[in-house]
Amino acid sequence: MVMKASLQLKLGQSLTMTPQLQQAIRLLQLSTLDLQQEIQQALESNPMLETSEDDDNQNPESTENEHDNEESSSAEESNAASESSPDWDESENGPDWSSETDSPDTIPDDLPVDTAWDDIYQSAPASSARNDDENDNDFETRNSPTETLHDHLEWQLNLTPMSERDQAIAHALLDAVDNHGYLTSPLEEIHSGMVEESDEDPLELDEVEAVLHRLQHFDPPGVFARDLQECLLIQLNQLPPDTPWLAQARLVITHYISLLGNRDYAQLLRRSRLKEDQLRDVLALITGLNPRPGDTLDQAEPDYVIPDVIVRKHNERWRVELNPEIAPRIRVNASYASLIKRADSSADNTYLRDQLQEAKWFIKSLQSRNETLLKVATRIVEHQQGFLDHGEEHMKPLILSDIAQAVEMHESTISRVTTQKYMHTPRGIFELKYFFSSHVGTDEGGECSSTAIRAMIKKLIATETPKKPLSDSKIAAMLGEQGIKVARRTVAKYREAMHIPPSNERKRLV
């Protein structure tokens, strides 16, 4: 068998992503913090990029040569700033854009290198800088370490006079305390572990229990408890002896805590021999205790959110604009760009040309990111004016394809834009994804968003009678009376998503 080599020409189509497109997509899905880090890395790695604040440090000759170009650049910056804040008019005419924001910038293949460069990425007008003292204080506040429950207990232990033997027992007990302040290991287990380590003088279980009772006087009240009953009794024992209803509260916690947990107030009244108004006062004292004492100290670091978009109402019109604090203004460094020569093919000149190309594409990608973010946010505000004006109950159903069709983009692009991007509104700061929700049909043939239904359920529960809380079936029936078709299991799912307990756990004695 003879193999013959031959050449064949085939014509076909293929879709490839250019590095520039990949960069634009990557910047689009970055959060505000990641974007700031990306810009800082670009400024450090590419000499052709600089922040606009660096203009003051340029030499006088360069400033004179670029004076005319800076004037035209200033005009372009003003136009860009006006483009960053379109208005949504609530009149019948629909959105009132101050200018077009979706006109693409084209970059020629043969970049002109012998002209002054005024390529600027400007997120929004720069705000006045705070003084150094404010910045230092803010840094110290945000970066100061948070004291944990373990640290707080160990600090108290170090100030408590104890023998070395009791100190060892106390540290063993401290290691067994969880973040809520409870002792997670039985005393017998802790005792047996320490007996194995002792040689001459065996450790008795009574010694471990005696040290535990000392530690149960530590702050916050209720720590080192072995269960909820002991935790509440520790707190009651630390109250002043003349506290009203203290003895009755001890009685209820000691003998009838299971009835209290089940909200069986009829049995509780009968067995405790208390009248209803007396039991109400006793329960008020008990509910003032902390079932998780460790939570008052061992809290996670708060997450700080910087909004990407700011929405405010001005002259009866909702105004959408980018947050001027999310990213620094950057531009092409005119001094370095002027060093590039057209006919020079040296390594240095090639390096400068490549860096210039990357700088221009980076700036364009940032501009594209902000334009896309602004268009998507504006369409969301246009669709959810009811929420902005009246609250969650007026949230409309919205899916990604609705916005994708409005801005003529793919759904995947809208998904990237709305992930880890936040909008500051008069009603609070929300992730853009918050404004998207599924829908439920109504009797009139319309649609109601799941977010609005959650708000209605929350409102119904907030106004229910504590003695007879609403069941999920009753809530579903009440929503049906308003024309909203929702099943009982759907109500239960929404209620659990809002961390609202079932009706039997919401029952109160009033």
Q: Which of 301, 287, 207 is closest to 249 using CA atoms?
A: 287
Residue 200 pLDDT: 64
> 404 phi and psi, to 5 degrees?
-60, -40
∠ Cα 137 140 143 (to 5°): 145
> Backbone dihedral region of 273: left (phi > 0), alpha (psi from -120 to 50 degrees) or beta?
left
- Rounded percentage of the chain residues whose pLDDT exceeds 70: 76
Two structure tokens written together for 133: 């003292």
Question: Over 90: is that where the pLDDT of 290 sits?
Answer: yes
Stretch 47-56: mean pLDDT, rounded? 74
Residue 340 pLDDT: 85
Among the residue ranges 80-94, 256-270, 310-324, the one predicted with the least confidence is: 80-94
Between 351 and 439, residue with greater pLDDT: 351
Among the residue ranges 79-93, 289-303, 343-357, 364-378, the one predicted with the least confidence is: 79-93
| Banded model confidence at residue 75, pLDDT cuts 50, 70, 90 | very low
Alpha helix (H) residue ranges in 347-464 = 347-383, 385-390, 400-407, 411-418, 450-462
- Rounded percentage of the chain residues whose pLDDT exceeds 90: 48
Among the residue ranges 13-22, 135-144, 353-362, the one predicted with the least confidence is: 135-144
Cα distance between residue 173 and residue 183, in whole Å: 7
Among the residue ranges 8-22, 177-191, 282-296, 334-348, the one predicted with the least confidence is: 8-22
Whether the Cβ atoms of residue 178 and residue 294 lie closer than 8 Å to each other: yes
Please name each of the domains of the chain with its CATH number.
20-100+112-125+305-418 (no CATH), 149-296 (no CATH), 439-506 (1.10.10.60)
Question: Over 80: is that where the pLDDT of 442 sits?
Answer: no
Question: Over 80: is that where the pLDDT of 145 sits?
Answer: no
Report the relative pairing of strands 447-449 and 120-121 from DSSP bridges.
unpaired
Between 233 and 58, residue with greater pLDDT: 233
Residue 210 pLDDT: 95
Residue 238 pLDDT: 94
Place of tokens 């390594």: 347
Residue 505 pLDDT: 84
Q: What is the pLDDT of residues 160-211, one digit of tens each?
A: 999 999 999 999 999 999 999 999 999 999 998 887 655 567 889 999 999 9
Q: What is the pLDDT of residues 413-434, one digit of tens each?
A: 899 889 889 999 999 999 999 9
Residue 320 pLDDT: 94
Among the residue ranges 97-111, 256-270, 315-329, 442-456, the one predicted with the least confidence is: 97-111
Question: Over 80: is that where the pLDDT of 87 sits?
Answer: no
Highest mean pLDDT: which range of 24-28, 185-189, 327-331, 340-344: 185-189
Whether the Cβ atoms of residue 118 and residue 75 lie closer than 8 Å to each other: no
Residue 254 pLDDT: 95
Residue 3 pLDDT: 66
Q: What's the mean pLDDT when you consider all of the chain?
A: 80
Question: Over 90: is that where the pLDDT of 329 sits?
Answer: no
Stretch 86-98: mean pLDDT, rounded? 42
Q: What is the pLDDT of residues 221-260, one digit of tens each?
A: 999 999 999 999 999 999 999 999 999 999 999 999 999 9
